[in-house]
């Protein structure tokens, strides 16, 4: 986790990414509290949850989804499929679509594009042969470099001591050979860099569980070497041989590329409301390269846009800041960048971040991130309970899901900002009891088209989407009107969090095995 600490420290000294936003001086709290919809004639009323929710309609959302699919089709010529992956015409179109709406609302919002460099990896082809057998569970790690000259390399499979998190775990014999490393304890990228530094021509990380490892190396560093993940089950016979002192030969081949793409976050902030106390929410504007990403995360990003549009009919007491993150699918790069460059003063103004990623899965469950104050910044639990209370008061079931780093809340939590959110499920399989609680089919993924070509307009459940968008509206209206009782941010806490991450962030660190949709540890 050394890399993450370094990022956190950079965030402390870097300038704010939103300092360019001009915000009007807010009315004082007493002035605002004397406002009410009844006494104001010709003025906008203070936002209230019920009316903001009433403004949300599934019909509008569906129309936006259809439009977004058309935008994804702009990539057809260059990508031979509809996609909104970063760098594609479909993603540029998505950014323009959001921007166009915000431009029309510039009486109410200031907004900015926040450019940053995103690394984007493409795996063209890979193969791993162990003991003359093609590995069936092998996958090439995200952002892996290719093997030398994009050609197969061969050597002995060399078992690495311990878990390969330290240079001294790598014996001299790994030079010119292929490192065989157990998963766990530190990010895959760290293991790969140690292997590369020790002269290995490739590395294979085997799981400590039976299942395969779909991982990413994270931000490329020069020492990274072509790296695979394989299942614990498949590793067993080779481990046995190696531990018996027998030789296992291996051939590794990866043809991949890592590009740097300049892409943009979009950040919009209400001109009204206390700019020192901001309620922040967001979804991600990009999709994976495999498909148009209408549920992931067309749904969340369009819900956020729809709420931003309707909010303009109201005044707010606290500032509301909307984000459309880019490069989420490359490993949360946009949201990471955003929090990394916030000054401590700007960081402190964000009272919470609400993550809205995949709100309309076809075989949905109403999922609430189980964000608790014991392992996350104070306030995360109050936010979790706001969602729970809403589902409960509407007679609906909900399920708590791990808050483990899979979406854009991760950077906020790591920078001391309370966060939470809702989702409707990705590649996970709906259980029998969930099928009773939410309808739909058990034994089938929540989103059977997750990260694939068929994540199109037919891949959203409009009932779930409309309902969850009303909940997004409720979350915004509630906190935009009042943060009474919501834990206050103090700079002192943030600094102590960064200086002693083991004290407060430790349990989150331990639970967070993901960074985006891929495992990184």
Ligand X SMILES: *[C@@H]1O[C@H](CO)[C@@H](O)[C@H](O)[C@H]1NC(C)=O
**Pick 130 or 339: Cβ nearer Zn ion:** 339
Quick one: which of 55, 123, 239, 435 contacts ligand X (CB under 6 A)? 55
Segment 462 to 501, residues that bind ligand X, using CB under 6 A: 462-463
Structure tokens at 61: 């959302």
Give the Cβ contact number of residue 346 at 10 Å.
Answer: 18
DSSP character for 421? E
Q: Does 133 help bind ligand X (rule: CB under 6 A)?
A: yes
Question: Using CA of residue 471, residue 473, residue 479, residue 482, what is the dihedral sign?
Answer: negative
Please tell me which residue in 234, 290, 306, 328 is annotated as part of the active site.
328
Least distance CB 270 / ligand X (angstroms): 14
Segment interacting with ligand X (CB under 6 A) among 189-197, 221-229, 434-442, 483-491: 434-442
Cα→Cα distances 83→73, 89, 91, 98, 505, Å: 7, 8, 8, 17, 36
Quick one: which of 260, 396, 429, 499 contacts ligand X (CB under 6 A)? 396
Between CA 107 and CA 304 the distance in angstroms is 18
Nearest to 271 by CA among 105, 486, 95: 105
Between CA 155 and CA 175 the distance in angstroms is 9
Residue 395 φ then ψ, to 5°: 70, 25
Structure tokens at 230: 């394989």
Q: Does 313 help bind ligand X (rule: CB under 6 A)?
A: yes
Look at residue 495 and give the partner it binds from ligand X, Zn ion, none, a contact being a CB closer than 5 to 8 Å depending on partner kind. none
Between CA 404 and CA 392 the distance in angstroms is 24
Quick one: which of 169, 255, 297, 355 contacts Zn ion (CB under 5 A)? 297
**Pick 23 or 248: Cβ nearer ligand X:** 248
**Pick 238 or 508: Cβ nearer ligand X:** 238
Cα→Cα distances 59→56, 65, 339, Å: 9, 10, 34
Residues 7 and 336: beta-carbon distance below 8 Å? yes
Structure tokens at 308: 């931003």
Residue 328 bears catalytic tag: yes
For residue 327, give the 3-state DSSP assignment. Answer: coil
Segment interacting with ligand X (CB under 6 A) among 67-75, 84-92, 368-376, 455-463: 455-463
Residue tagged 């995200």 (tokens): 142
Look at residue 55 and give the partner it binds from ligand X, Zn ion, none, a contact being a CB closer than 5 to 8 Å depending on partner kind. ligand X
Look at residue 309 and give the partner it binds from Zn ion, ligand X, none, a contact being a CB closer than 5 to 8 Å depending on partner kind. ligand X
Segment 345 to 364, residues that bind Zn ion, using CB under 5 A: 357
**Pick 122 or 313: Cβ nearer ligand X:** 313
Least distance CB 67 / ligand X (angstroms): 17
**Pick 122 or 136: Cβ nearer ligand X:** 136
Structure tokens at 164: 């390969």
Quick one: which of 112, 286, 290, 296 contacts Zn ion (CB under 5 A)? 296
Between CA 134 and CA 129 the distance in angstroms is 4
Q: Does 315 help bind ligand X (rule: CB under 6 A)?
A: no
Residue 473 φ then ψ, to 5°: -60, -40
Least distance CB 244 / ligand X (angstroms): 12
Q: Does 136 help bind ligand X (rule: CB under 6 A)?
A: no
Look at residue 461 and give the partner it binds from Zn ion, ligand X, none, a contact being a CB closer than 5 to 8 Å depending on partner kind. ligand X
Cα→Cα distances 245→128, 164, 519, Å: 22, 19, 31
Q: Does 131 help bind ligand X (rule: CB under 6 A)?
A: yes
Interacting residue ranges for Zn ion, rule: CB under 5 A: 296-297, 357
Catalytic positions: 328
Interacting residue ranges for ligand X, rule: CB under 6 A: 55, 131, 133, 237-238, 309-310, 312-313, 362, 395-397, 436-437, 439-440, 461-463
């Amino acid at each position: 986790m050394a890399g993450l600490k370094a990022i956190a420290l950079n965030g402390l000294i870097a300038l704010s990414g939103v300092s360019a936003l001009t915000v009007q001086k807010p009315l004082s709290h007493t002035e605002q509290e004397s406002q009410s919809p009844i006494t104001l004639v010709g003025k906008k009323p203070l936002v209230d949850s019920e009316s903001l929710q009433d403004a949300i309609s599934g019909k509008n959302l569906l129309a936006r989804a259809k439009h977004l699919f058309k935008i994804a089709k702009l990539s057809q010529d260059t990508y031979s499929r509809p996609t909104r992956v970063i760098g594609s015409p479909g993603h540029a179109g998505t950014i323009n679509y959001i921007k166009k709406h915000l431009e029309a609302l510039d009486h109410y919002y200031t907004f900015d594009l926040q450019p940053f460099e995103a690394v984007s990896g493409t795996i063209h082809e890979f193969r791993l042969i162990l003991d003359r057998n093609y590995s069936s569970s092998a996958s090439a790690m995200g952002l892996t470099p290719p093997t030398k000259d994009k050609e197969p390399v061969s050597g002995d499979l060399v078992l690495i001591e311990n878990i390969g998190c330290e240079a001294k775990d790598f014996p001299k014999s790994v030079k010119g050979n292929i490192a065989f490393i157990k998963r766990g304890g530190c990010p895959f990228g760290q293991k790969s860099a140690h292997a590369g530094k020790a002269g290995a021509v490739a590395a294979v990380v085997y799981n400590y569980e039976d299942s395969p490892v779909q991982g990413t190396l994270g931000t490329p560093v020069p020492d990274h070497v072509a790296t695979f993940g394989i299942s614990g089950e498949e590793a067993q016979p080779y481990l046995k041989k190696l531990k018996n002192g027998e030789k296992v030969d291996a051939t590794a081949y990866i043809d991949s590329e890592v590009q740097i793409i300049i892409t943009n976050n979009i950040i919009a902030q209400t001109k009204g409301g206390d700019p020192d106390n901001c309620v922040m929410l967001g979804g991600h504007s990009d999709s994976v390269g495999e498909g148009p990403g209408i549920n992931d995360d067309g749904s969340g990003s369009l819900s956020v846009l729809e709420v931003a549009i309707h909010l303009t009919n109201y005044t707010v007491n606290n500032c509301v800041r909307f984000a459309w993150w880019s490069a989420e699918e490359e490993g949360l790069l946009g949201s990471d960048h955003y929090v990394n460059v916030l000054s401590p003063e700007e960081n402190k103004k964000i009272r919470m971040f609400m993550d809205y990623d995949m709100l309309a899965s076809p075989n949905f469950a109403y999922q609430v991130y189980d964000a608790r104050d014991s392992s996350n910044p104070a306030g995360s639990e109050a936010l979790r309970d706001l969602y729970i209370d809403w589902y409960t008061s509407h007679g609906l079931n909900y399920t708590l899901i791990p808050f483990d780093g899979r979406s854009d809340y991760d950077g906020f939590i790591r920078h001391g900002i309370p966060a939470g959110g809702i989702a409707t499920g990705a590649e996970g399989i709906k259980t029998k009891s969930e099928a009773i609680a939410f309808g739909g089919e058990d034994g089938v993924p929540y989103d059977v088209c997750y990260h694939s070509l068929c994540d199109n307009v037919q891949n959203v459940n409009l009932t779930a989407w409309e309902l969850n968008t009303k909940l997004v509206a409720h979350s915004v209206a509630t906190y935009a009107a009042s943060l009474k009782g919501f834990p206050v941010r103090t700079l002192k806490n943030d600094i102590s969090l960064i200086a002693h991450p083991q004290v407060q962030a430790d349990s989150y660190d331990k639970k967070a095995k993901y960074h985006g949709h891929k495992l990184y540890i």
